[in-house]
Structure 1
């Protein structure tokens, strides 16, 4: 049995489908089972991870491995979940982590890196077998552009010259699936950086979207302060907004890095951004 947290998220849903396609029993955790729309073959279980809640041991009974996504739990509940998983006798945990983690003191000064590094350290100390899937820039982040593309044709944000290698959620899920299904220890103690196969600027990504939709969107650069104001106005906490805005500016080589780990783990090349757009074109039309 494999337990998947965040089972209705972009990565989690793809992971559930991929595991079921390989005949693995799946327990899918979600806040709203009645609205989840998950496959009937999955055991769908209600689970809410509040900052002060102790995860119920029953969530992990009979499980061999757990996929942990902090987008579903947050760091505090995520750390407690690691303890609960270890106490339940689960063998392995696979963490969807962040490419921002450096394993250096710099992690303490970046909210996104710090959040994941704290849980990584808890997992290393837990005695569990583990694999960390450090995701680069998620291609799904560009879904935030959809309304602007449809209405004004102008997307505004920081760092027009910055490049990143957007990764398809299905590739993140595929690497996680290999680690979760590992029976011989190939992936134990491994840290995988999972990115797309090419580094693109925001305008180059918009050009790909334009080619798929027949639109001609353009990117307009905002100053750092303007970008932070826009992000926090949408409800993103300031430390996380700062981490996102400063990522490319302060670490351009890391932000634009292209890793082949997805291909090494799964045996197939990582999907291109054009492939991701083809899978999501209806969201931009």
Structure 2
């Protein structure tokens, strides 16, 4: 039976597809544009079945769900991560198609239409939510290569970021499990430690052999810098508010990765070593 992965050309979805394929599981990759799945960084492995469909248009998904035993579903769509509003229709289609297991990339602790549809469905469902992905620090790559410096506000914030490869492996393990041990659970995935931005920059410096700096900005300095970079004011307001109100819980580590995979999660230093080339001039 086939496993369907939605968001298959995204950074995380592609890793899920690759891991399932490399471990011998028949995998079907859903994307809005099949041509994108065969080119550039989004290229999927040979032998992966690629199908087109749009999660915001459930009537495009019937063929993709045919013969599927397990489904990985995004809880948000598009570059702006708009919450998925068609969850109930998709869950109904999946149930009718005979899908047995479901992973949902969403928090799963509110009462949105998707959450309710998942919790009341007959499927073996599991919510999966990484606190933060280590790959988000790739957003620093350009400035580190050109200035050897990262400049951001709120330097004291700490996040227990998870290696995206660990997250993909957890999703794959849940999708292929047959004992139901993960059914009905919400897995909050983290790395083994919570780090400040400065600590992450230090780890990247150690991995690359470069001298790098982290400079903390005031709100006004951040506004000036981001405006110069072309950010709209509403985007600046959103980021400053988000960082100013980061809950302390994002620094809490969990055992979820080890519970599922039977090994500790990868630390940020290991991630930085594996991605050092992205930060070197």
* TM-score range for the pair, normalised by the shorter chain length: 0.7 to 0.9
Q: CA RMSD in A?
A: 2.8
- Output one character per residue of 1:119-171: Cα deviation in whole Å (capped at 9) or x when no partner: 32331123322001121111111111111111122222232011111111111
Structure 1 stretch 83-92 or stretch 5-14: which is displaced more? 83-92
1:1-285 aligned within 5 A: 1-36=2-37, 37-50=43-56, 54-72=59-77, 74-77=82-85, 79=87, 80-98=89-107, 103=109, 118-224=113-219, 230=226, 233=231, 241=239, 244-248=242-246, 251-252=247-248, 254-285=249-280
Q: What is the rounded CA distance, in whole Å, between the counterparts of 1:93 and 1:83 in structure 2?
A: 12
In structure 2, do the counterparts of structure 1 residues 215 and 240 end up closer, same or farther at CA, with 3 Å as the change threshold?
A: same
Extract structure 1 runs of 4+ deviating beyond 6 A: none
Matched position secondary structure for 1:191: strand
In structure 2, do the counterparts of structure 1 residues 201 and 81 end up closer, same or farther at CA, with 3 Å as the change threshold?
same
TM-score (norm 2): 0.84
Mean CA deviation greater in 171-180 or 150-159 = 150-159
Structure 1 residues 23 and 206: alpha-carbon distance in aligned structure 2, compared to 1, 3 A threshold: same
Any stretches of 5+ residues in structure 2 without a counterpart?
Answer: 38-42
Q: Distance in 2 between matches of 1:71 and 1:281?
A: 30
Contact 2:54 2:61 in 1 (8 A): no
The structure number with the bigger radius of gyration is 2
Residue 122 of structure 2 aligns to a residue whose secondary structure is coil
The one-character-per-residue Cα deviations of 1:8-49 (angstroms, maximum 9, x if unpaired) are: 222212111211222111001123333322111211112334
Equivalent residues, number: 267
Report the CA distance between 1:57 and its aligned residue: 1.1
* Structure 1 gap segments, 5+ residues each: 108-113
Counterpart-to-counterpart distance in 2, 1:19 and 1:53: 25
Whole-Å separation in 2 of the counterparts to 1:199 and 1:121: 31
Report which stretch shifted further, 64-73 or 156-165.
64-73
Q: Secondary structure at the match of 2:105?
A: strand
TM-score normalized by the length of structure 1: 0.83
Instruction: From the superposition, tell whether residues 160 and 183 of structure 1 become closer, same or farther in structure 2 (CA, over 3 Å).
Output: same
